[in-house]
Amino acid sequence: MWDDVKHVIDTSQSFAITSHVNPDGDSIGSALALCEFLKAQGKEAVVAMSDAVPMAYQWLDPDREMMAPVDEADLNQITAVDAVFIVDVNSWERLGQLGEPIQHGQAVKAVIDHHPYRELITPHSVIQTEASSTSELIYNLIDTLGGSMTKRAADALYTGILTDTGSFRFASTSPHAHDITARLLDHGVNPAQVYDLVYNQNSEARTRLMGQVISNIQFAGNGQVAWLTVAPSMIEKTGALPEDTSGFVDTTMTISGVEIGIIFVGTNEGTVRISLRSRGSKDVNQIAGSFGGGGHRNASGVVFKGSIEEAVEAVTKVAVSAL
């Protein structure tokens, strides 16, 4: 299944690798590992994201080589490459400010993803929804093509699998995912160190913001839907960063009886970034899809145009109906 991807790699010299807005461990890990692999093949490669990298993953890029968030000068460089790899997403809209320039650029586009999709944005696509993460697929790519595994790539892939499996507790955690992580340990990954760097390095500002956000949690649907709201003023007042809200939504799923959890993060650009989580058969991917977003059955995202109040009213109504 990697023949088409191999052809794109063999026939191109310069690459950009990108992923969805609000980058997470899997999008960053898979992108960085693919970048490492391409460079090892003698290619020119760079990782670019519309949004900044959350603090939990900055250690993966100590020299700040990633373009995140991109600026106008970065866009010119990205659109001039031979090929663009889009990882962990199959939607132009979910690429944020990178979506339109890449979509209309001359570069060959290829997708590697594990999310359900409605249509392919490029014929050069490898999408396996049964995979635990896109990082798992990037490992398979490197292994299939006989590439070497650097320590940095191993750390990145382990981080991607760790975070997208919920520390190996989600239903997507397959025997193959465990097999891959075992092999990554052979390449020098220190599980305790990675966990500590990802989950135990919160800033004081992020911690204070989290406390304010959780203290204002709201419920509907007889307690089965819970949601959090984050206004830009809250972020500014605590001295936190917008990316510091990453992972807040997961706290809703620690509450007994909650089937669907949502966070609404307002921006100064008139949009609201929404993340949804669910248990079992409750499908938040369908909820996200009804507003132009997407993801997995139990974890999805949306960029909503409007105010937080409008977003809360519209999305919670659909969420309660989905119960």
Given the DSSP bridges, would you call strands 299-305 and 271-278 parallel, antiparallel or unpaired? antiparallel
Position 295 pLDDT exceeds 90? no
Alpha-carbon span 258 to 296, nearest angstrom: 18
Query: Does the domain made of 3-199 have the CATH classification 3.90.1640.10?
Result: yes
* 90 contacts 111 by C-beta, under 8 angstroms: yes
In whole angstroms, what is the distance from residue 166 CA to residue 270 CA?
A: 31
What is the predicted pLDDT for the residue at 280?
84
128: which 2 tokens?
Answer: 């396996």
| pTM, full prediction | 0.85
With a cut of 90, say whether residue 22 has pLDDT above it. no
Cis peptide before 69, with omega less than 30 degrees from 0? yes
Average pLDDT over residues 175-194: 96
Those residues with Cβ within 8 angstroms of residue 6's Cβ, 6 or more apart along the chain or in another chain: 145
Question: What confidence score (pLDDT) does residue 77 get?
Answer: 86
Query: Residue 243 above 90 pLDDT?
Result: no
pLDDT digits (tens, 9 = 90+) for 118-170: 789 999 999 999 999 999 999 999 999 998 899 999 999 999 999 999 899 88
Whether pLDDT at 59 is above 90: yes
Non-local CB neighbours of 70 within 8 Å, separated by 6+ positions: 48, 49, 50, 78, 97, 98
Q: Cα–Cα distance between 207 and 238 in angstroms, integer? A: 9
With 90 as the cut, is the pLDDT of residue 65 above it?
yes
Rounded to whole angstroms, what are the CA distances from 302 to 29, 42, 51, 115, 159?
A: 21, 37, 15, 14, 23
Tokens matching residue 246 = 């990453």
Q: Could you identify the residue written with the tokens 């340990």?
A: 185
For 204-322, which CATH class? alpha beta
Q: pLDDT tens digit string along 88-125?
A: 999 898 898 999 999 999 999 999 999 888 789 999 99
* Average per-residue pLDDT for the chain: 94
Q: Where are the domains of the chain?
A: 3-199, 204-322
132-162 burial code (b ≥16 CB/10 A, e <16): bbbbbbbbbbbeeeebebbebbbbbbbbbbb
